Structure 1
Amino acid sequence: MQTDNQVNDLYPIAVLIDELKHDDVSYRLNALKRISTIALALGPERTRDELIPFLDESIDDEDEVLSALASQLGDFVEYVGGPEYAHVLLSILENLAAMEEPLVRDAAVESLNKICQVLSQEQLVEYFVPLVQRLSTAEWFTSRASSTALYCAAYERSTNPAVRVSLRQNFGHLCHDEAPMVRRPAATNCAKFVLLMTKEEAISEFIPLFNSLSSDDQDSVRLLSFDVMISLAKVLQEESDIRQYLLQPLRSFVSDSSWRTRYMVADNFIRLAEVVGINIINDELKKPFIMLMKDTEQEVRRAISGQIPGFCALIDKKAVLDDVLPVLQDLVNDPAQHVRAALGTNIGALAPILGKEDTIEHLLPLFLDLLKDEFPEVRLNVISKLELVNQVVGIDLLSQSLLPAIVTLAEDKQWRIRLAIIEYIPLLARQLGVDFFNEKMGNLCMSWLGDHVYAIREAAIDNLRKLAEFFGIEWATKTIIPKILAMSSHPNYLYRMTTIFAICSLAPVMNAAVIQEQILPVLNQMANDPIPNVRFNVAKAYAVLSPVLKSTGGESAIESQIAPILQVLAKDQDADVRFFAEKSIKDICA
């Protein structure tokens, strides 16, 4: 007969069993979230003897549940008694690493790698390395695919030369696996594995593996092997070795029949250039780079456009002018708008590389052509990087073409384009200066306050606050506050609401004099507005303005003007108006 203590000891397991058998997935997930608490209640010994075997028998479940279990087990070492017993977790994770669902396998592999870090050398040789070998030779490809991500941790932790040799050999078999679903993760993890090799091991064992992967009949494998080449370049280091072993594969990558492979090269070109050295860049990389700029596939041209500033920073200015800029003209006129948009984001970064004279002569015409592009995103991307060009040549040379582009974007039919250009206005204002801004862009900024899209009006208010912070309260008092207050008498109540929102946003940059002389007279009048929404927003505005008045010597205005009006609003016929008026009274008095 069981004692009460024995029943209580069994209770956590019983609850877990019930919840893990529940029909609802959320119940099973909640149960897994508590297994660490249950393990604490059971103690290390019963966790090893009862909980872990039970969980191992319960892995026939939904992928979401198994993924959560796999993740939990990576942090479970302390609950089974510490590193000394960490190996007891390997069996269940080995089973999870063989599952069909990639999310489950990835979580299991991540947990296995965590546990590997705390294993002793004896545990590593006795338990972890055999686990890796079993997965690597399993019949089903999912196990072999998972095993490719375990070699780095096992190899790095192992101090046994024989074990290391065995691991390298087994990994080589995975790189030649008959299933492309295995060769793909093998190529991905090979890039990490190579970095653990000596130069001699890389040349004798991994160069042949790389050559096999880079010439694979599956383009999905070939494109992943480009990272292996970058890792090999880091390990080889010597210019002569890089020339001997890697340049021919690079030429093959650039002329590969698959655009996806060429895209991968284009998207990672700078990573390779940064590790091969300046001589190889000048002698060997310029031609492949130009080839990718002229590629027939627009996705490749878009990817290489993002690499242009970084590559031009690595070569001399003459090469930029003679080799890159002529092809850049073709990209400016590229038929694909996404290529031009990518170029627009990056072309400004060439200005500091070329210097003022060459930027004015060679780069500025291309820059201005993009500012006239028919596609809004292209112009937007150019404007977003305007500061880099402005720092080199000054705003005067840009303003003639810049302003029409801004005006066109500001009136674009897509509200997201209008919103994006508003966000760049403070940046432009700092570059243009107050006089140019007042003359050319002041009215434009005010016009956004009347936009039919609320998000635009909200962004326009935030824009005015940032401008006031930059240009100062005196500028705001003369330039924008009168225009904002003029909207208070607009027939459409939404415009009147915008006036109140703008006042609240600008409050932190105002002082008592401005509030008393300009703001309060208008706001007091709006307290009598026929629309309740306007009246209760007036009440809220008073609460926002009061702290500014208190901090800048305007307490008298609170007593003489704000408090009496709030008392009236607190008796308003509309419940919302009364609520916000009473709330503002409490806030002001607090």
Structure 2
Amino acid sequence: MMAGAGGAAGGVDAAADDSLYPIAVLIDELKNDDVQLRLNSIKKLSTIALALGVERTRAELIPFLKETIYDEDEVLLALAEQLGEFVSLVGGAEHAWCLLTPLEALASVEETVVRDRAVESLKAVAAHHSAAHLEEYFFPLVQRLAAGDWFSTRTSACGLFACCYPRVPTVLRAELRQHFRLLCQDDTPMVRRAAAAKLGEFAKVVELEYLKSEIIAMFVNLAQDEQDSVRLLAVEASISIAGLLATDDVEQLVMPTVRSCAVDNSWRVRYMVADKFGELQAAVGPDLARADLVPAFQSLLKDLEAEVRAAAASKVQEFCMHLDKTHQEQIIMNSIMPQIKELVVDPNQHVKTALASVIMGLCPILGRDNTIEHLLPLFLSQLKDECADVRLNIISNLECVNEVIGIQQLSQSLLPAIVELAEDTKWRVRLAIIEYMPLLAGQLGQEVFDEKLSALCMSWLVDHVNAIREAATLNLKKLVEQFGPHWAETNIVPKVLSMSQDQNYLHRMTYLFCINLLAEACGKDITTRVLLPTVLAMAEDNVANVRFNVAKTLQKIGPWLDPGVIQPQVKPVLEKLNVDPDVDVKYFASEAIAGLAG
């Protein structure tokens, strides 16, 4: 079958042999023991199909591919992906049906990821079918899968109803609904799970009359299934179904099941309700949220299982924000706030962390007075929590509080706790405080900052964690940009300069890193007059790392120096460093000389 072998044997035309070559190579590679080789071959299918042309692809390649369905899962997954994009390679929409046979086989294999990918490809191919081809080829495929002997085929079928239903005649739609009903009642839990997962998708394409008369019955049965893995998927279906019905119908047909799920015996079902609470709230509307979801949310916030409380706590801001504005404050203060106060001291750190990530968002909703009276005490408690992530989440969202209560109240209430956290044992907490500092400084004003926070900002420069020292240098630059060069020369620069004499070489290097950033913020005058002399003096440092950082700093601050000092002061120092015994010092000195020359 290989090219060149048939010219002398049997009189086979050489060109014909050449045309068979891609299939021959593909067959050889797919029979190879090396999985990676087979995988690479499958990934080249589109190239092979182009070489064969559409007719030979339909006649030879597609039938051949069905033989590979017994391969490794990795190879099958690649095949399922490829076939979903093959419509143009088999001659377009008119011939899309020929791809259904190998994809049907892939949708029946044992491995879930392969089946799921095959279903997605089947849906993509179905979109190219004409109504006639859909009825002739695709509808029977769905029937075969739905009635298959193996659970794997029936689970795959569940994902195909929604793409097929709107485009087939009325009589076939009735058959599809009947098939789906049977899948919802299947003896195998995996099939019922698949049906529950796709019920919301199917509900969106079914006529309203059948949604009420048939789909709701399926939904209720699935929500009462003996398997909690099926019941929890019914929660997602409730969101889709509620969005399709009028408020009265939602109250009558959906809410009883939602209320039941919120107090289900299985914590996994209650967790799903909590996790999807925002979507559920949006689907049922403000009136039903007030009447039915508020009690359910209260129950979830005080659930016995920490996972459920954490999921509900993470939804507090979202739920409160979308409450009916007329009753919003009343509901929060009377129904939600008592639960929040309990969660602040919850024994589980994940619950407290989840709440801390969203609780600040209540400030704009509740307003100044309620924030000061009810929320500030909770924030103070959280800022002192033993869990670092709780403290971190509160610090990261302090801006929300300031916007509502003002800096005066913030500085009186929270500033002492913030100052305390600036020396927190967890470096990520200290880092969060540093990142918040420029904003806080701008809000406090220069005088209050100098009095209460300036010393803190300097202490971070000698922190034992490098990330803190780096953040502290950037913080200084932002403060100088905020308060101006004159303030910097008086309040910051003298303290920074003293670091150049520190016994610890890491602190001397931090001084240089500060200069790199402060030069631009301070401007040419201060950089040339005050900062440069100390940098030049440090070229004599006995630590090579400091010396080569002097060279890097001189290059970095070059644009912020008076041009008149480059030749007489900077160049001689760099030339001396350029003959330093340390190879790194010489390298960076030569780089700096070249940089300044340019």
Q: Shared fold (TM-score greater than 0.5)?
A: yes
Opposite residue 459 of structure 2, the aligned amino acid is: S
Between 247-256 and 563-572, the greater mean CA deviation after superposition = 563-572
1:487 aligns with 2:499: yes
Q: Is 1:290–1:327's contact at 8 Å kept on the other side of the alignment?
A: yes
370, 378, 396: which one aligns with 1:366: 378
Which structure 2 residues correspond to residues 135-154 of structure 1 after superposition, within 5 A? 135-154=145-164
Change (3 A) 1:63 1:492: farther
Matches of residues 392-431 of structure 1 in structure 2 within 5 Å?
392-431=404-443
CA separation of 1:83/1:402 partners in 2, compared to 1, >3 Å: closer, same or farther? same
Match of residue 310 from structure 1 = 318
| 1:331 paired to 2:343 | yes
Q: After alignment, is 344-353 or 14-23 more displaced?
A: 14-23
Any idea what the Cα deviations from partners look like across 1:268-325, whole Å, max 9, x if unmatched?
2222222323322232222222222222222211111122223223142122222222
For 1:28 and 1:479, how far apart are their aligned partners in 2?
70
1:293 aligns with 2:301: yes
C-alpha separation in 1, matches of 2:95 and 2:480? 64
Amino acid paired to 2:187: E
Q: 1:520 maps to what in 2?
A: 532
Q: Secondary structure at the match of 1:334?
A: coil
Q: Aligned-pair distance for 1:430? A: 4.1
> 1:126-147 deviations in whole A, cap 9, x for unaligned?
2222222222222221222222
Contact 1:379 1:405 in 2 (8 A): no
Where does residue 211 of structure 2 map in the other structure? 202
Q: How does 1:66-215 map to 2 (within 5 A)?
A: 66-156=76-166, 158-215=167-224
Most deviating of 198-207 and 575-584: 575-584
Separation in structure 2 between the aligned mates of residue 358 and residue 533 of structure 1, nearest angstrom: 55
Alignment of 1:166-565 (within 5 A): 166-237=175-246, 239-313=247-321, 314-315=323-324, 316=327, 317-549=329-561, 554-565=562-573
Determine the C-alpha separation between the residues in 2 that align with 1:17 and 1:469.
69
* Structure-1 separation of matches of 2:75 and 2:118: 12
- Structure 1 residues 405 and 64: alpha-carbon distance in aligned structure 2, compared to 1, 3 A threshold: farther
Number of equivalent positions: 584
Q: Shift in Å at residue 17 of structure 1?
A: 4.1
CA offsets per residue over residues 150-184 of structure 1, 9 Å max, x none? 2222224x142223222222222211111111211
- Alpha-carbon contact 2:509-2:546 (below 8 Å) kept: yes
**Alpha-carbon distance change, 70 to 370 in structure 1, aligned in 2, over 3 angstroms:** same
Residues 1:193 and 1:424: Cα distance change in structure 2 (over 3 Å): farther
For the residues of structure 2 that align with 1:24 and 1:545, how far apart are their CA atoms? 58
Q: Write the deviation string for residues 535-578 of structure 1: whole angstroms up to 9, x where unpaired.
A: 222222233223445xxxx3333334333333333332222222
Q: Note the C-alpha offset of 1:335.
A: 1.9
> 1:534: Cα distance to partner?
2.2
- Root-mean-square deviation (Å): 2.5
Distance, in Å, in 1 between the alignment partners of 2:497 and 2:34 is: 58
Q: Give the TM-score taking structure 1 as reference length.
A: 0.91
SS of the residue corresponding to residue 58 of structure 1 reads helix
User: What stretches of structure 2 of length at least 5 have no aligned partner?
Assistant: 1-5, 8-12
Tell whether 2:594 aligns with 1:586: yes
Task: Give the structure 2 partner of residue 40 of structure 1.
Answer: 50
In 1, Cα distance between equivalents of 2:438 and 2:39? 48
Q: Is the 8 A contact 1:376 1:409 kept in 2?
A: no
Q: Is the 8 A contact 1:422 1:460 kept in 2?
A: yes
Q: Give % identity.
A: 51
Question: Partners in 2 of 1:53 and 1:589 — Cα distance?
Answer: 70
Look up the equivalent residue of 2:457 and give its one-letter code: C
Unpaired stretches in structure 1, ≥5 consecutive residues: none
In the alignment, the residues of structure 2 paired with residue 90 and residue 487 of structure 1 have an alpha-carbon distance, to the nearest angstrom, of: 74
Confirm or deny: 8 A CA contact 2:30 2:41 kept in the other structure.
yes
Structure 1 Cα separation of the partners of residues 126 and 112 of structure 2:
21
Deviation of the 1:22 alpha carbon: 4.5
**CA spacing shift, 1:548–1:10, aligned 2, 3 Å:** farther
